[in-house]
Amino acid sequence: MAKKQLVRVKVNGRDREAEVEPRLLLVHFIREVLGLTGTHVGCDTSHCGACTVVLDGKTVKSCTMFAPQADGRELLTVEGLIKDGQLHPLQEGFKEEHGLQCGFCTPGMLMSSYVLLQKNKMPSEEDIRWGISGNLCRCTGYQNIVKAVQYAASKMEQGGAK
Amino acid sequence: MQQTSPEIGGMGHSIKRKEDSRFIQGRGNYVDDVRLPGMVYGQMVRSPFAHARLKSISTEKAKQLPGVLAVITGEDLAKANLAWMPTLFFDKQMVLATGKVLFQSQEVAFIVAEDRYTAADAAELVEVEYEELPVLVDPHKATDPSSPILREDREEKSNHIFHWEVGDKAATDKAFQNAAVKASVHAVFQRCHPAPLETCGCVADFNSATGKLTIYMTSQAPHAHRTLFALVGGIPEQNIRVVSPDIGGGFGNKVPIYPGYVCSVVASLTLGRPVKWIETRSENLQSTGFARDYHMTAELAADGNGKIQAMRVKTLADHGAFNAAAQPTKFPAGLFSICTGAYDYPNAFCEVDGVYTNKAPGGIAYRCSFRVTEAAYLIERAVDVLAQQLKIDPVELRRKNFIRPEKFPYPSPLGWSFDSGNYEAAMNLALEKINYQELRKEQAEKRAKGEFMGIGISSFVEIVGAGPAHTFDIAGIKMFDSAEIRVHPTGKAICRMGTKSQGQGHETTYAQIVAQELGIPAADVVVEEGDTDTAPYGLGTYASRSTPVSGAATAVAARKIREKAKKIAAHLLECSEEDLEWEPGKFFVKGAPSKSKTIQDIAFAAYTNMPAGMEAGLEAVDYYDPPNLTFPFGTYICIVDIDKGTGEVKVRRFIAVDDCGNVINPMIVDGQIHGGLTEGLAIAFMQQIDYDESGNVQGGSFMDYLLPTAVETPHWETDKTCTPSPHHPLGAKGVGESPNVGSPAAFVNAVVDALAHLGVQHIDMPITPWKVWAILKEKGVVS
């Protein structure tokens, strides 16, 4: 076993640190070391996007990074979307527009949509479809996920959360 | 059916889902989220070969790795008589290989270590010496004398598993002899995999102090699985608790018991610690229940006007290395005999032969009520081929042959009694919505210009909701299902079920049934499933049986409660029961509506002020045995445009008209239709688990098992007609599988239609751009 390495990250606004094996995948660091199990693993080839988190403002597939690569950086996971007990408009949108069924892809979908809306405040349907194209869903056929993101975009435009 | 207010939220209301709150906050509890003190991790060692003799297994190096707690082999399991386990279909399957391996990625050894990385390291250190054997991949060669016999364990030295036939062969053959027109199609429904986004896994937790074994597992049928663990493992059933936590999609993949579950249980029993085993995606695709792999020939006999007179079907079924089909015991080919479709003709004969090959075992019902998908695809393809041969519009051919609404209940030539249907109404609505005549004109214009556009129609019928118990059982357990409702003193309720949601929204829809029947707002009803220690026994969720069977049980249980509630209301209002009338939420005195008692008043009285001689409480349980299956149907129309330069098929429009009888939650039904159509699209154009001649899996990871993203998926248009089931207490039918059953034929029919003028009659799925381009090239359209 290789020498353990200290990883310090800011996760959902909180400083966290742990000594881990250098080969530990970021997704396992998040799920098993930090105990944030909202981020899921759905494949082993970086295709499904269930493990998507936001790292320094960009989406990453946390199954495709080692935990030490996140050292000193800032992470946002699905658990960090809720603010002061208030759901993020995207979370509301997914519920209102029936954008989920089994819920397994949902955290990854939320994080990809979150970054999309940071970059593009009023995305077209096509923009949204491309924006979530790194995330697979087996239940919804994506249609209501598109509506959920549109719901959130409108709500945020009306002066809601960021 | 009485309409409830939106506040009550009974049948027909698109209320938002109760389960969503935890999922959108990342607070679901899937099996890999289960974490117990002292928990250790399991990892499979798998065979790289499709067929090989096991010469030796050396586990010493693996055992020496720090952190490794155990390495279990087939020989170890054999000592406990657990090297093999029964499948759900009269066969047995190796848990861990002994003697030889029969498919690539077969389970060979099971490592247990303190963490999952160490377990994976140790798997690399297990040394297995294999001697390769000749491989049988092509099911058509299974019974050739030159092919190797795969299953040396069986008495019968043959790769043939079963022959099954149904229908009147003599009458069907005669109809074919006399027929003016015969059409035939050979269609392969390719091997594919449900690939739910969450793979299979479990945490087995044996407590040596109490003797209790708790298994958290991705199970679509937790109660049946508990019984099977008791029967096979010899563990007293009261000491087994199966918990299905949140499940990240099932689609039939989570019906069977897999070797990983069994090894985890054995390891936990041995070590006295909780053992977690979670498949990787590649393991999921390569070793757990595949679906389809049906090689089918259908023939239709018709008169010169296109009136169908008979159907004849011959099918070869590739079951892989073990017959691990998850099907009702009396039906080796499942409900494939629904293949006569939505059409009225007197004669049919269908035969199916199952064979072994060196492939992963199965097949399971992938979003499908036991081979209904194969059947619906076959008849809807065959009807289009007949139309093409007769030069009749496929719409007109269907119209001419539909079973008329007045003929229900309709006895099908292969022995089913279709409960209700109005097939032409559904088709007419779809045609109107898509403006069919205009599209045919456009197609003619495009053809004149050398462009390729196709219109595909599929008018499918499903058969879902097994039992009845006298006909249907899984491994001997009758296919009833259950609901238990308990109303609390304050008028709120808990409802526990024998089924298990994997995304279907049961926590919402069952609550709506209680709301409909008792007038207790759906928001006040908690639905729990999946814990065998608390829920009533049931067969689980697959084959679209939750609403037809457990939904019915919920309604019947609620009605039992209402009967008791009426007695309490009469007592509270000091009148006779005959003087009372019900509206959702309250009983009132006939002619004096102000004299009433709400269900909440009654619930309180059931614990505080019951009539003399009545036992306290307000609860009921029902084990529902359906008198028949339900037969949902619909018409789907697909419009495609083909890029002749690349062979790429673009779905321009897709309209789905479904009829699943009375609807519980239209929003949820629509969502299910969207999802099922997307899986149908995937099957028609992308998904395939193929094997090369050495038995290597092609399509064993998401690199090459292609799933559609939001970009490839079109916008779906949905609508519905409503023909209630006459025998279901709520008039409802199943729906979750309809879009997956009905749509593959619509996609394929559309592509074939686009190329029909070139003489193309059939293309096998998945219809890749390369396949289309090769046809265009062969026909001289492109060079």
Question: pLDDT (tens digit, 9 = 90+) per residue, B399-456?
Answer: 999 999 999 999 999 999 999 999 999 999 999 999 999 999 999 999 999 999 999 9
pLDDT score of B200 more than 90: yes
Query: Which residue in B17, B21, B23 has the most chain A C-beta atoms within 10 A of its own C-beta, making it the best mutation to test that interface?
Result: B23
First to last CA, chain A: 43
The correct answer on CATH 3.30.365.10 for the domain covering B20-28+481-624 is yes
Contact B782, B770 (CB under 8 A): no
Cα–Cα distance list, B440 to B395, B454, B599, B693 (Å): 11, 9, 57, 43
Q: Judge whether A5-80 and A89-157 match in fold.
A: no
- Note whether A22 contacts B: Cβ–Cβ < 8 A: no
Coil, strand or helix at B445: helix
Alpha-carbon distance A126 to nearest alpha carbon in chain B (angstroms): 8
The first and second tokens of residue B586, run together, are 């309250």
The first and second tokens of residue B68, run together, are 């490794």
Give residue B781's pLDDT.
Answer: 96
- Provide, as residue numbers in chain A, all residues whose Cβ is less than 8 Å from the Cβ of B198: 40, 42, 102, 104
Give residue A1's pLDDT.
Answer: 61
- Provide, as residue numbers in chain B, all residues whose Cβ is less than 8 Å from the Cβ of A98: 16-17, 667-668, 670-671
User: Is the Cβ pair B33, A37 closer than 8 Å?
Assistant: yes
- Provide, as residue numbers in chain A, all residues whose Cβ is less than 8 Å from the Cβ of B505: 101
- Provide, as residue numbers in chain A, all residues whose Cβ is less than 8 Å from the Cβ of B197: 40, 42, 48, 50, 102, 104-105, 136-139
Class of CATH domain B290-466+628-778: alpha beta
The correct answer on CATH 3.40.50.2000 for the domain covering A5-80 is no
pLDDT digits (tens, 9 = 90+) for B510-527: 999 999 999 999 999 999
pLDDT digits (tens, 9 = 90+) for B547-589: 999 999 999 999 999 999 999 999 999 999 999 999 999 999 9
The first and second tokens of residue B768, run together, are 């890749």
At residue B475 the predicted structure's pLDDT band, cuts being 50, 70 and 90, is: confident
At residue B263 the predicted structure's pLDDT band, cuts being 50, 70 and 90, is: very high
- Provide, as residue numbers in chain B, all residues whose Cβ is less than 8 Å from the Cβ of A104: 28, 30, 196-198, 248-249
Query: Which residue in B14, B17, B24, B665 has the most chain A C-beta atoms within 10 A of its own C-beta, making it the best mutation to test that interface?
Result: B24
User: Is the Cβ pair A45, B701 closer than 8 Å?
Assistant: yes
- Note whether A135 contacts B: Cβ–Cβ < 8 A: yes
Alpha-carbon distance B250 to nearest alpha carbon in chain A (angstroms): 9
pLDDT score of A44 more than 90: yes
- Note whether A33 contacts B: Cβ–Cβ < 8 A: no
A95-134 residues labelled b (16+ CB within 10 A) or e (exposed):
bbbbbbbbbbbbbbbbbbbbbbbeeeeebeeebbbebbbb
pLDDT digits (tens, 9 = 90+) for B649-673: 999 999 999 999 999 999 999 999 9
At residue B780 the predicted structure's pLDDT band, cuts being 50, 70 and 90, is: very high
Give residue B1's pLDDT.
Answer: 83
Q: Which of A48, A81, A141 sits opposite B677 (nearest CB)?
A: A141
- Note whether A45 contacts B: Cβ–Cβ < 8 A: yes
Q: Fill in the amino acid letter for B704.
A: D
Q: Which of B24, B195, B703 sits opposite A110 (nearest CB)?
A: B24
Calculate mean pLDDT across residues B15-35.
98
Give residue A160's pLDDT.
Answer: 57
Q: What is the CATH number of domain A89-157?
A: 1.10.150.120
Q: Which of A38, A142, A146 sits opposite B26 (nearest CB)?
A: A38
Measured in whole angstroms, how far is the alpha carbon of residue B387 from the centre of its chain? 31
Dist CA B324 CA B531 (whole Å)? 25
Coil, strand or helix at B352: strand
pLDDT score of A162 more than 80: no
Give residue B74's pLDDT.
Answer: 98
Domain ranges within chain A, ordered by starting residue? 5-80, 89-157
A-proximal residues of B, 669-698, CB under 8 Å: 670-672, 674-679
Q: Judge whether B20-28+481-624 and B34-133+199-247+254-287 match in fold.
A: no
- Note whether B502 contacts A: Cβ–Cβ < 8 A: yes
At residue A161 the predicted structure's pLDDT band, cuts being 50, 70 and 90, is: low
Over pLDDT 90: what percentage of chain B?
A: 99
Give residue B427's pLDDT.
Answer: 98
Q: The pTM is what?
A: 0.98
Q: What is the CATH number of domain B34-133+199-247+254-287?
A: 3.90.1170.50
B743-768 residues labelled b (16+ CB within 10 A) or e (exposed):
bbbbbbbbbbbbbbeeebebbebbbb
Give residue B524's pLDDT.
Answer: 98
Domain ranges within chain B, ordered by starting residue? 20-28+481-624, 34-133+199-247+254-287, 290-466+628-778
Give residue B326's pLDDT.
Answer: 87
Query: Which residue in A95, A126, A142 has the most chain B C-beta atoms within 10 A of its own C-beta, making it the best mutation to test that interface?
Result: A142
Calculate mean pLDDT across residues B673-680.
98
- Note whether B210 contacts A: Cβ–Cβ < 8 A: no
- Provide, as residue numbers in chain A, all residues whose Cβ is less than 8 Å from the Cβ of B31: none
At residue A2 the predicted structure's pLDDT band, cuts being 50, 70 and 90, is: confident
pLDDT digits (tens, 9 = 90+) for B124-137: 999 999 999 999 99
User: Is the Cβ pair B117, A135 closer than 8 Å?
Assistant: no
- Provide, as residue numbers in chain B, all residues whose Cβ is less than 8 Å from the Cβ of A31: 32-33
**Reported ipTM exceeds the 0.90 cut:** yes
Q: Which residues of B are catalytic?
A: 220, 367-368, 737
